[in-house]
Structure 1
Amino acid sequence: MAVLVTGASGFIALHVINLLLSQNYKVIGTVRSQAKADKVIRQFNNPNLSFEIISDITKLDAFDETLKKHGKEIDNVIHMASPLPEEGNTDFENHYLLPAVNGTKSILSAIKKFAPRSVKHVVMTSSIAAIINVNDFSVVTTEKDWNPITWEQAKTSSFMCYLGSKTYSEKAAWDFLKENKDEVDFKFTAVNPAMVFGRQMFDEDVKDTLNVSCEFVNKILCLPPTEKLSQDYAMSYVHVDDVALAHVKAIQEDKFDGKRLLLSAGTYSDQLIANSINKQFPQIKGTIPPAVEDCKQLDIRYDSAVTQKLLGIEWKSFDASVYDIVHQALKRRGKL
């Protein structure tokens, strides 16, 4: 039997695939081009990994052919494909909001059409963006909370459209379940990670600029030592290994059915990132902004205790999360 992983070339997806392959799952990934499929196949070099090309996930029948072809062998689906805002593209509704919602509808619809009884678990990669209170970022939230962002608010900026795309695409999944509870058998789990830190799955993917979340750490390496960093709250983080583990556990244990998993290990600021780098990489002290000993302590904004207990894990530490990004970056730059 196989696991279908959509958006299989993404940062988190590669770690999920690696964990699945290490546990001897057969993985069928979907990507938007043959070039992406060829690259990932070369990187993993594992006969249990194959790909289907879906160039446009926004079509409501986008996944039909894949499920029609593989429906009998797929017993788990991990839906990770979702559009990310691109610089300069301001048509937020048509390029990000609708595609995110339609991508969710299309994968669930395809399961309903071609594998309503054979697929046992569906896990959706949502985001902490679907949980935060967009009207008051100081409120402590849990996996029970929903971002109250409106569709109109989501069309106002790149940041707001990302929040909206995650919120409304996840809501589309829960609505589908309510409307089709008698027509599909699968268990459903939403995984809602904070900013995901950690190493790139493959060293060749370490570039001058990294993916959105890891770039929050990487950018500090490019700042001069005279730069004054913010000590104010930036966001919450979680290590990519913990995120991958949550996805895989959710297809293995029925106790995650109907759950939203809030993955948040703690809050951070730019200055706290610099402090961690200076502590762990003394060889580059003096080339980046210095540590500040009396750095502001940040309040907890997201309470993930329920999810952590359900998963039965200890979150990887902030230092470990920062270390994995910086070590790879410095290695690429010949500074290790």
Structure 2
Amino acid sequence: MTGTTVFVSGANGYIAQHIVKQLLAKGYSVVGSVRSSSKGEELKNLVKSDKFSYEIVPALGDKGAFDNALKKHPEVTVFLHTASPVSFSVNDIEKDLLRPAIDGTVNALQAIKDHGPQIKKVVITSSAVANLGWDKYFDGNKIYTEEDWNPITYQESLENAASGYYGSKKFAELAALDFIEKEKPNFAVSFVNPVYVFGPQAYAIKDKAQLNLSAEVINGVAKLGKNDKIAPFGSHFVDVRDVARAHLVAFENEEAISKRLIVASSGFTLDSIAHIINEHFPNSTVPKGDLSRNPEISKTNIQKVDSSKSNKILGFDLIPLEKSVVDTVQQIYSV
């Protein structure tokens, strides 16, 4: 594996840090893009590897955002595009969520076409929200696969931040496919579409008050007091270490070329998470989860997902919920 240099956009993100960690462990050299030199230095100090360097890309959506970074690194042959906004507290849904995701993806692909002719493999971090129907499109009877698309329209994506996030993933993927069809670049693109991503941070947690969006699901339960109510919520989960590993498979395995890989381990409910925390951390203040509520919650919250095609390409067993929760909570509770 040594000798290959991989570019990781948004390298200081939750999933991206695990990708960087796994790439370095396998002997790859890594160039990461970050939004500022302070973020770059912070990541460099965490990574502690002479095979890691960073470039500053302040705004994904700006035309030519990645041009200089790629001009400086003709040694890069693989590009992993993980950078995309993930936030539900935005002022302008189109400006803060949709456009940066769509334009950032197209900018990355354009830069690779113009300034990275040696790059042959591109992997884009999408999300299963681009595959599954949510809210009014939730369908508990349908079996969703890699071929499915969330029916949400661009106009509906502007209605609220959650819809904006769903739309940002769907329309960024479609923009990438449109680019490939029109531009006929000499690189292949694969997509990694994870469900809710749980699991520990790749390196030490600096601020436990607010973790990233999906890791915050477990953090939210871990912070509950004995008399707090557990919300009747559930969905599908996958461990962040498996999502990172899927990105490596997506460019290492020829079978993954041009595929959308749904990465999903199993269903979860907040009651299941609370139950696991109680089993393993008896001194916690978390209320005991009521597992008898799970079937009812599943009916209205959890879609049926068949990711067997993706699992075959991935070729590894996915981390179960219990291990993912325990490893996450250990990190949250540790001083």
Q: Same fold (TM over 0.5)?
A: yes
The answer to whether structure 1 residue 215 and structure 2 residue 216 are counterparts is yes
Q: Describe the shift of the 1:66–1:267 C-alpha distance in structure 2 as closer, same or farther (beyond 3 A).
A: same
Query: Are the aligned partners of 2:123 and 2:191 in contact in 1 as well (CA < 8 Å)?
Result: yes
Q: Distance in 1 between matches of 2:188 and 2:97?
A: 27
Cα displacement string for residues 90-148 of structure 1 (whole angstroms, at most 9, x for unaligned residues): 311112111110000000001111123x1111000000111111312423311110111
Where do 4+ consecutive residues of structure 1 move more than 6 Å? none
Q: For residue 140 of structure 1, what is the aligned residue in structure 2?
A: 143
Q: For residue 122 of structure 2, what is the aligned residue in structure 1?
A: 122
Query: Are the aligned partners of 2:88 and 2:162 in contact in 1 as well (CA < 8 Å)?
Result: no
Q: For residue 52 of structure 1, what is the aligned residue in structure 2?
A: 55
Q: For residue 61 of structure 1, what is the aligned residue in structure 2?
A: 64
Q: Distance in 1 between matches of 2:286 and 2:5?
A: 46
Structure 1 vs Structure 2: percent identity of aligned residues?
Answer: 35
Which amino acid counterpart does residue 226 of structure 1 have in structure 2? N
**Aligned to 2:181, what secondary structure does the other structure show?**
helix
Within the candidate set 315, 325, 329, 1:322 is matched to 325
**Aligned to 1:282, what secondary structure does the other structure show?**
coil
Q: Where do 1:228-239 residues align within 5 Å?
A: 228-232=229-233, 234-239=234-239
Structure 1 range deviating more: 298-307 or 195-204:
298-307
Give the Å deviation of 1:214.
1.0
Query: Are the aligned partners of 1:187 and 1:254 in contact in 2 as well (CA < 8 Å)?
Result: no
Q: Where do 1:106-255 residues align within 5 Å?
A: 106-116=107-117, 118-134=118-134, 135-138=137-140, 139-181=142-184, 184-205=185-206, 207-232=208-233, 234-255=234-255
Q: Distance in 2 between matches of 1:41 and 1:328?
A: 21
Query: Are the aligned partners of 1:90 and 1:157 in contact in 2 as well (CA < 8 Å)?
Result: no
Query: Are the aligned partners of 1:154 and 1:161 in contact in 2 as well (CA < 8 Å)?
Result: yes
Q: Distance in 2 between matches of 1:119 and 1:315?
A: 29
Query: Are the aligned partners of 1:30 and 1:52 in contact in 2 as well (CA < 8 Å)?
Result: yes
Which amino acid counterpart does residue 186 of structure 2 have in structure 1? D
Which amino acid counterpart does residue 290 of structure 2 have in structure 1? V
**Aligned to 1:61, what secondary structure does the other structure show?**
coil
Give the Å deviation of 1:221.
2.0
Which amino acid counterpart does residue 220 of structure 2 have in structure 1? K
Give the Å deviation of 1:208.
2.1
Q: For residue 302 of structure 1, what is the aligned residue in structure 2?
A: 305
Q: Distance in 1 between matches of 2:31 and 2:157?
A: 33
Q: Distance in 2 between matches of 1:267 and 1:113?
A: 42
TM-score (norm 2): 0.93
Q: For residue 85 of structure 1, what is the aligned residue in structure 2?
A: 87
**Aligned to 1:47, what secondary structure does the other structure show?**
coil
Structure 1 range deviating more: 72-81 or 203-212:
203-212
**Aligned to 1:133, what secondary structure does the other structure show?**
coil
Q: Distance in 1 between matches of 2:78 and 2:67?
A: 16
Unmatched segments (≥5 aa) in structure 1: none
Query: Are the aligned partners of 2:139 and 2:303 in contact in 1 as well (CA < 8 Å)?
Result: no
Give the Å deviation of 1:230.
3.4
Cα displacement string for residues 163-204 of structure 1 (whole angstroms, at most 9, x for unaligned residues): 0101100111111111122xx222211000011111111123
Q: Distance in 2 between matches of 1:328 and 1:316?
A: 17
Q: For residue 290 of structure 1, what is the aligned residue in structure 2?
A: 288
Cα displacement string for residues 302-328 of structure 1 (whole angstroms, at most 9, x for unaligned residues): 221211111111111010111111111
Cα displacement string for residues 259-309 of structure 1 (whole angstroms, at most 9, x for unaligned residues): 00001111111111111111122232xx21113253423365222121111
Q: Distance in 2 between matches of 1:180 and 1:257?
A: 17
**Aligned to 2:214, what secondary structure does the other structure show?**
helix
Q: Distance in 1 between matches of 2:273 and 2:88?
A: 26
Unmatched segments (≥5 aa) in structure 2: none
Q: For residue 28 of structure 1, what is the aligned residue in structure 2?
A: 31
Query: Are the aligned partners of 2:86 and 2:213 in contact in 1 as well (CA < 8 Å)?
Result: no
Cα displacement string for residues 10-44 of structure 1 (whole angstroms, at most 9, x for unaligned residues): 00000000000011111000000000000010111
Q: Count how many residue pairs are aligned between Structure 1 and Structure 2.
A: 324
Q: For residue 278 of structure 1, what is the aligned residue in structure 2?
A: 278
Q: Distance in 1 between matches of 2:160 and 2:59?
A: 23
Cα displacement string for residues 42-62 of structure 1 (whole angstroms, at most 9, x for unaligned residues): 111100000100111101211
Query: Are the aligned partners of 1:199 and 1:328 in contact in 2 as well (CA < 8 Å)?
Result: yes
Give the Å deviation of 1:231.
4.0
**Aligned to 2:149, what secondary structure does the other structure show?**
coil
Q: Distance in 2 between matches of 1:112 and 1:201?
A: 31
**Aligned to 1:204, what secondary structure does the other structure show?**
coil
